[in-house]
């Protein structure tokens, strides 16, 4: 199982999204855990690596499981808060603070939209595929 973690970063009614040119998709910042790294620590590191933001972790929002070329993958997402300005770096070419309604339209994957519903309190959805 490939383990990855990320953040659903919310500020002033908007959520932070990243665009990855390699996949041409909009998603939440996330990435693979390093050996021995906790889910929470990996989520904080990955958000910072992709957006230059050092965030505070809150509760687990949910997880997604899906297949990639290397095998099954699980990504756990944590609600996060932060200050500062986001900047795209590493595998990300654009970052955007999007209001919830706009984020629903921008997110490429249904599994990410389901997580957004979790944090926007509009519907109970957890593990999605």
Place 120 in a pLDDT band, splitting at 50, 70 and 90.
confident
User: What percent of the chain is predicted at pLDDT more than 70?
Assistant: 93
pLDDT at 126: 36
How high is the pLDDT of residue 121?
63
> Are the C-beta atoms of residues 77 and 6 closer than 8 Å to each other?
yes
- For the chain, which residues make up each domain, given as ranges? 2-119
- What does CATH list as the number for 2-119? 3.90.79.10
pLDDT tens readout for residues 95-111: 999 999 999 999 999 99
Q: Percent helix, strand and coil across the chain, each rounded to 5?
A: 25, 40, 35
Task: Give the mean model confidence (pLDDT) for residues 70-81.
Answer: 96
pLDDT at 85: 94
Among candidates 67, 3, 79, 69, which has minimal Cα distance to 36? 3
pTM of the model: 0.89
Mean pLDDT of 54-65: 95
Q: Is the pLDDT of residue 127 over 80?
A: no
């Amino acid at each position: 199982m490939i383990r990855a973690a990320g953040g659903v970063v919310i500020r002033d009614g908007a959520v932070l999204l990243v665009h990855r040119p390699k996949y041409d998709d909009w998603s939440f910042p996330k990435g693979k855990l390093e050996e021995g790294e906790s889910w929470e620590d990996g989520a904080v590191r990955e958000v910072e690596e992709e957006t230059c933001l050092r965030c505070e972790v809150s509760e687990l929002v949910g997880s997604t499981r899906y297949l990639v070329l290397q095998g099954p993958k699980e990504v756990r997402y944590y609600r996060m808060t932060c200050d500062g300005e986001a900047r795209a770096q590493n595998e990300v070419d654009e970052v955007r603070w999007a209001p919830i309604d706009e984020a629903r339209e921008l997110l490429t994957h249904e599994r990410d939209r389901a997580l957004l519903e979790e944090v926007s309190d509009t519907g109970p959805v957890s593990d999605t595929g």
